[in-house]
Amino acid sequence: MSNQDTLLRILRLFNSKCVHLDMIKDRLNMSKEELDVGLTILETHGFIEKVNCKEDCRRCPIYSNCNSISLNLYKITEKGLRI
């Protein structure tokens, strides 16, 4: 599988809304390091962006857990949706 195919597969999983990075890693049979590289590439090219969770927290599906765990959250951008 090419790197571009892998990036597209990661991006498609973000289309399913709220996903845990471990789920992406497991579903694509990737190491954490490989996933981190893929996320960095997608973020650098503007397909995903990190989420700042300071606004509208109570509407977040993981609101009840976010104070007890450290999270890096991402969302797909308009550019990512066009792929």
CATH number at residue 30: 1.10.10.10
Distance CA 2, CA 73 (A): 25
> What pLDDT, on a 0 to 100 scale, did the predictor assign at position 44?
96
E-strand stretches of 1-83: 48-50, 74-76
* Burial call 37-46: b when 16+ CB within 10 Å, e when fewer: ebbebbeeee
Count: domains in the chain: 1
Provide the domain limits for residue 32: 3-81
Spans in the chain with pLDDT lower than 50: none
